[in-house]
Amino acid sequence: MIRQFDQAFRLSTAARVSVLTLLTLHSNSRLRAQHWGIADTLTPRRHSGLAFDPQRQRLVLYGGETTTPTEWETGTWELARGAWVRPAESQPPDLGATPRLVVDTAGQRVLVVGFTGTTVSAWSFQGLRWRPVAQAPSPADPTYFAAAFDESRRRVVVWGGSTAGTAQLAVWECDGTAWTSVAVAAGPTGRDEPAMAYDGTRNSIIMFGGRDVASGQPLADTWTWNGSVWTRLTPLAAPPARSGHSMTWDPVRRRVVLFGGDSGTPRADTWEWDGTNWTSVATAVTPPARTGHGAAFDPQRNRVVIACGEGASGLTGDTWEFDGANWAIRQATEAPPPLREHAAAFDAARREVVLFGGHVQFVSSAETWRFKNGGWTKLQPTAAPTARSAHAMTFDAAQGRIILFGGLDTGVARDDTWSWDGNTWTLATPAHRPPARWSHAMTYDAARGRVVLFGGLGTSQVFLSDTWEWDGNDWQQRMPATSPPARAEAGLAFDAARNEVLLHSGRFYANNVTTYLTDTWTYDGVTWTLRSSSTPGLPARAGCAMTYDAATQTVLAFGGKNSATYYPYPQLQAWNGNVWSAVTTPAPAPSPRAHASATWDVDRRHLVCFGGEAGSSRFGETWVFSRNPVAGVRPLPPETDCQGSILPYILASGLGVVGNANYALDFWHQDPPTPTAPVVFLVSTNTAMTGVRLGTCQLTVDPATLFHSAATTRTGTLATLPLPVPEVPSLMGLQFIAQGLTLDPTNAALNGLALSLGARIGIGDF
């Protein structure tokens, strides 16, 4: 029946062309309403949960602490088809600090457990959203507790942590429908950040280490929990005392694998528990030392996986796997750490954003990062500038290279010039150079083929007002008849619609008073012209980022700070050649900040903004301001008369962005009527709901505009349709409808078939 249905809906052989070609032919490049969105890059974090989803056959990561001071994210991520992405429409619960993920092997589902106020609760992840499983009153709201799933007793076990310095000693258990608090007469001392795992050899829960709540000292004791009592074990050897480590049951090798933790400094050692003793495992390669990382077992690859955590140099977002003999990196860090006073530029020759340096956790960075196709990649050039912050970068179109100048290096102002060719940095040796400085402004004047530099802070904290130009070989100081007053932290951009350089805002310090500026100047290569000394509704500021928006032929300014109202600029401002005006955008939007980077991606017609600061907070998320639709899959309203014993969904596997060759669609449902069954995917270009009937059911796809169908096999709950998206910018904005069919013998309404909910798929830019 499935085969007959597929054949009936297939296009003729002569008319059939590749899906990618059809996508290109049906592309839509119209501008949309402007909006902000966070790019799908896994921000470095600690204390996130990690588990393998047996339903959708992929790793799931939840939450984590992403900044210092503490900022918790409640987002959900999947490692699908080689990249971490956020599932469409996932609505994760807010379970406070340090929620834990476990795999309910009995129910074949991922559970997140945590405490909020006076409630302990568990939620089940179903690929589309989180659903509540069980909750119960709790006398305390502990953080840094441990959780594991007891496979022999089929229940979640939660223990440890503390509330306001008071240790929590009760054991909480959830059988999948209800929570029970188990009173314990004796057991381990109260502790934060212990680790627990299921011990398949002893059919019990094993617990090791943690940080004593009373003394704050790391512990090295080993205990087991059998459902009623704790028993302390005395193995011949044990790992050194630690907290914040991970423990994971490897069912193939019948071992509990322990990695890392904190013994005063982060650790990078690997240990195994065989049910009787601990054994240290020497590996040729090991992940960087870390604490507070997530861990899980991946049965697809038979590997123990760890992700994220905090090391000696700060938070990380990398993913590693252990095969029982050695560690190997599976996914490199997905995003730069939280930064301020870094610099970024769009490399038009290589069609990517490049970021360098910045200030991270009280030290300067010398890292080079690339942002392309919605994701970050850390580069390893053979040469690079020294670590620095408050430098300036711009793309020199005449030379086809990014130019970097100056900055602050360990308290010393620099006067060096570097160029980036896509592979490495090269130090230039010009005959002339501007004096050393930092917090200056720089842009490329495309009308005259020159890099323009203005102002900044020189040695001895001198504010500068000089203008310099770089021609690709040498710097030349210009002497315009009129110049803006001296300043630092100004915004500077080339206004391509009017062929002039635009300077705005900044700060100046004199007579023990800091003055924040709101004036706007233009430079035509000969002189500077004051265009506006002030603009109503545009307060004075410093540390804003500016870039040219080729889509609307305006210059955009973002962020900044002043002394009267700290960091009050979450809203974009646009310069049209005469006045500044606010750009209205719906929520969400970046929080107020200064010293972020902002650069325009010409290919994807969007603004890429990274990092920044507000007070003592540093930001590490990547925001994109765009007029293109956000990539994603949105389920359409259900047809209740088509539901049989199952209700399948069409979900995304990977991110539907231009250039993602690994993109795919999943046909998924939670409870399969049969272990394996054929599935037909139907894809239509008509995004409106149709009135076409199939038996007693209404189709979401439109047969008249069907441009692709494919039959595949569903194994368990999942079938996948590869749908790679080519590197064709005009595809941004394409939307289409997908729906799927599979067998469901109980569904008489559709003659033994099950029809999934329809889904509207959007190809976007982030």
pLDDT, averaged across the chain = 87
597-622 per-position pLDDT tens digit: 999 998 878 899 999 988 878 888 88
Position 30 scores a pLDDT of 47
pLDDT higher than 70, residue 672? no
Stronger pLDDT, 194 or 77, i.e. the higher one:
194
> Tens of pLDDT along 408-425?
998 999 999 999 999 999
302 vs 733, more confident: 302
Model confidence at 139: pLDDT above 50: yes
Cα 340 from chain centre: 18
| Most distant CA pair in the chain, distance | 86
375-379 β-sheet, strand order: 343-347, 352-356, 368-372, 375-379
- The pLDDT score that the predictor gives to residue 19 is 56
Q: Give this prediction's pTM.
A: 0.80
Residues 659-667, mean pLDDT to the nearest whole number: 86
How large is the average pLDDT for residues 443-454?
Answer: 98
Given this model, what pLDDT does residue 526 score?
A: 97
3-state secondary structure (DSSP) of residue 23: helix
* β-bridge partners, 417: 405
* Token reading at 141: 């709201």
Dihedral angle, C-alpha 502, 505, 506, 510, nearest 10 °: 120
- How high is the pLDDT of residue 313? 78
Read off the pLDDT of residues 292-303 as tens digits, 9 standing for 90 and up.
999 999 999 999
- The answer for residues whose C-beta is within 8 angstroms of residue 511's C-beta and 6 or more apart is none
The whole-number pLDDT of residue 36 equals 84
For residue 752, pLDDT beyond 70: yes
Convert the pLDDT of each residue in 634-647 to its tens digit. 878 765 556 666 77
* Coil, helix or strand at residue 213: coil
Question: Looking at the predicted structure, is the pLDDT value of residue 577 above 80?
Answer: yes
Question: pLDDT tens digits for 424-436?
Answer: 999 999 999 999 9
Please state the φ and ψ torsions of residue 2, each to the nearest 5 degrees: -60, -45
Q: What is the DSSP string of 441-469?
A: EEEEETTTTEEEEEEEE-GGG-EEEEEEE
611 torsion bin: left (phi>0), alpha (psi -120 to 50), beta (else):
left
Instruction: Dump pLDDT digits (tens) for 56-109.
Output: 889 999 988 876 555 677 788 998 877 888 776 666 677 877 889 999 988 889
CA dist 355 and 339 (Å) reads: 11
Beta strands at 278-281 and 266-273: parallel, antiparallel or unpaired: antiparallel
Question: What burial class does residue 326 get, using C-beta atoms within 10 Å of its C-beta: 0-12 exposed, 13-18 middle, 19+ buried?
Answer: middle
What stretches of 559-705 adopt beta strand conformation (E)? 573-575, 580-582, 597-601, 606-610, 613-614, 617-618, 622-626, 632-635, 649-653, 664-668, 676-684, 693-694, 697-698
Q: Give the pLDDT score at 568.
A: 47
What would the pLDDT profile of 510-553 be if each residue is shown by its tens digit? 988 999 999 999 999 999 999 988 777 777 899 999 999 988 99
pLDDT at 507: 96
Q: How far apart are the first and last CA of the chain?
A: 39
Q: Are residues 597 and 622 in contact, defined by beta-carbon separation less than 8 angstroms?
A: no
Dihedral sign computed on CA atoms, order 494, 500, 505, 506: positive
- Compute the half-sphere exposure of residue 539: CA atoms within 13 Å on the CB side of its CA: 17
Query: What number is the average pLDDT over the span 27-37?
Result: 62
